[in-house]
Amino acid sequence: MKSPPRLLPNLRSPGSAGKLSADSTAPKGNFPQILYPADGGLFPAAFATPATWVRRALGALCVGGALLGGGLAAAEWAPIGGIVGGPKNPGQVAYVEQLQRMGAGPVAGIPEPILLWPQGAPEAVPDASGVFTDEDKPAIYAFPAPASNNTGAAVLILPGGGFTNRCMDNEGVQVAKFLNRHGIAGFVLRYRIGPNYPSRTVSTMDAHRAMRLLRARATEFKIAPDRIGTIGFSAGGELQGDAFYNAVLDGDPAALDPLDRVSTRANFNALIYGGRDIRNPAAAAPTFLFNTIEDAGHLRVQVSVLNSLRQAGIPVEAHFNQVGPHGTAMSLGDPLLGDWPGLMVKWLRVGGFLGANR
């Protein structure tokens, strides 16, 4: 397998570069102190300047980025046929998964899940009736790039949700569709979460298996096995730290399961308002970081990752916006927070991950 492409020398930071600190006091400047436009373009007047706790609640509900302009079209976003009640957001479980569980059949535009272990996942725990549900069956949802602009690059998408739910829409499906527009295949991971799976070991196992499956079936998915990366949001970024920084596994040639013979190493990673301290930064893949200064708790970890990678000479690019709470997702179209997805694509292009002439 070829070595992963490296970023151009001018993007590499020398190990002697000064450290950044999450505790540094940023200059006040003339930065806006609200996240959302006050002109009524996205919210009624009552929501023109929502309080910090409201904004954080939106992020916790997996809808913040959608309300910031990154949402699906109304018909796509709303529960189909009124089967799922409540507000038009996925809540704790993506509405597409709710619908499928309730017998409504496949949802338009959402592929069938590809089970990571078709014969049953290791350490799966049945319910009280001895039945294994979808929550016990880790899977990926494949969104291949259109043939007309396929770059061969692929991204395994790890939605956030605090390991108690998964923001499968605004930190999953929307991300895949954005990547598709740039010729990048997206694969949304349904990893196991609490309360049945409180151990991070299980979710790490799921992430490793997904990477191995993508690499082993690269020809089928029309992707390059040496240009497969990951993107994780919040808890998904923590899972990246577990699986793709601190516990990378080489393939075992003697393994009985063919997938276990394949490496779990990612060729690049994008950490979006999440991550973990890196134990061996010299072995890390090139990394893209996005967060906001306002998201202080998660920013500390990201600054730690940034400094570790810079000192190790690993290609890294970071964008820390002045304002914005935790959990803003893609925020496409938002004047304050909507630029980072495009900057990430440019970073991938400069690094050679999108192939020649892309």
The DSSP string of 297-315 is HHHHHHHHHHHHHHHHT--
Give the mean model confidence (pLDDT) for residues 171-181. Answer: 94
25 exposed, middle or buried (CB, 10 Å; 0-12, 13-18, 19+)? exposed
- Could you tell me which residues are beta bridge partners of residue 32? none
The dihedral through the CA atoms of 237, 242, 245, 246 has a sign that is: positive
Position 324 confidence tier, pLDDT thresholds 50, 70, 90 = confident
- Tell me the CB-side half-sphere exposure of residue 307, using CA atoms within 13 A: 13
Provide the token pair at 230: 């990951």
pLDDT of residue 333: 82
Alpha-carbon gap, residue 182 to 186, rounded angstroms: 11
pLDDT tens across 88-139, in order? 333 334 444 544 554 445 566 788 999 999 999 999 999 889 999 899 999 9
pLDDT at 205 over 90: yes
State how far the Cα of 18 lies from the Cα of 35, in Å rounded to an integer.
Answer: 30
Give how far Cα 222 sits from Cα of 5, 171, 182, 260, 313, Å.
19, 23, 15, 21, 32
- What would the mean pLDDT of 299-305 be, rounded to a whole number? 94
The lowest-confidence range among 169-178, 209-218, 262-271 is 169-178
Residues 210, 225: Cα–Cα separation, whole Å: 13
> Any idea where the domains of the chain sit in the sequence?
36-125+132-350
* Least confidently predicted of 58-72, 73-87, 271-285: 73-87
CB-CB contact of 204 with 250 (8 Å): no
Residue spans of beta strands (DSSP E) within the chain: 114-115, 139-143, 154-158, 185-190, 228-233, 269-272, 287-292, 316-321
Note the Cα 268 to chain centre separation in Å.
12
Tell me: pLDDT of 14 over 50. Answer: no
**Calpha distance 268→351 (Å, rounded):** 10
SS3 266: coil
Three-state DSSP class for 35? coil
Cα Rg, the chain, nearest whole Å: 20
Confidence of residue 46 (pLDDT cuts 50, 70, 90): very low
Does pLDDT of 223 surpass 50? Answer: yes
Per-residue pLDDT at 56 exceeds 80: no
Domain 36-125+132-350 has CATH 3.40.50.720: no
pLDDT of residue 97: 55
Pair type for strands 269-272 and 228-233: parallel
Of 346, 242, 248, nearest in space to 290 by CA: 346
What pTM, to 2 d.p., does this model score?
0.76
**What pLDDT score does 323 carry?**
85
**What is the per-residue pLDDT across 326-338, written as a single tens digit (0 to 9) for each?**
888 888 888 888 8
The CA distance from 1 to 225, in Å, is 8
